[in-house]
Amino acid sequence: MFVSYEFAALIYHTFPKEQETPDSEQTPIEKPEEQKFEALEVQHYQSLLHRNFHRLFPKLKYFDEEEQTPKNGQYDTQTIGIVDMLCIDERGDFVIIEIKRQATDKTIGQILRYMGWTKEELCKEGQKVKGLIVAERKDSQLEFALKVIPDIRFMKLELTIKLEEQ
């Protein structure tokens, strides 16, 4: 069974990036154990989570299905940026999902900005706004920030790929 970096290593070695080196100079390719590969870019995670949205987040729905579905779940605020996923939970509260490969404490500022905008522009009386950061990993600064912001949770995104010979 491959873990995500092993699969990425296989792909990167099979389809290496073109190197801008003279023909006489060849850059050796390092072994997978010596490199850390990222399997996907953030836009790929966005698409993957969108395609599996109802399975991964069964208690959520998009705020504006018609607008967000063709955009992989993204919601354009028109003023402060594009929210990765603007959702409504089963209680009718808003949930902002921010997708990252590496989440840092800067992610907190970004998601708080989206949460504040949602509270100001979209919330009706009694509605709450929560945040969810989905990422492969987080740094220690983010861990400390999350300890004092109870309305924002972190979920680790793990991908596994299994190849079976048929």
The pLDDT of residue 19: 46
The pLDDT of residue 22: 45
Is the pTM higher than 0.85? The answer reads no
How far apart, in Å, are the Cα atoms of 94 and each of 1, 48, 91, 103, 133?
38, 21, 9, 21, 14
Q: What is the 3-state secondary structure (H, E, C) of the chain?
A: CEEHHHHHHHHHHHCCCCCCCCCCCCCCCCCHHHCCCCCCCHHHHHHHHHHCHHHHCCCEEECCHHHHHHHCCCEECCCCCEECEEEEECCCCEEEEEEEEEECHHHHHHHHHHHHHHHHHCCCCCCCEEEEEEEEEECHHHHHHHHCCCCEEEEECCCEECCCCC
The pLDDT of residue 11: 52
* pLDDT per residue of the chain (166 residues) written in tens, 0 to 9: 545 556 555 555 555 555 444 444 444 444 444 444 455 677 888 888 899 899 999 999 999 989 888 898 999 999 999 999 999 999 999 999 999 989 999 999 999 999 999 999 999 999 999 999 999 999 999 999 999 999 999 999 888 777 899 9
C-alpha gyration radius of the chain = 19
* Domain annotation for the chain: domains and CATH numbers: 1-39 (no CATH), 40-158 (3.40.1350.10)
The pLDDT of residue 160: 77
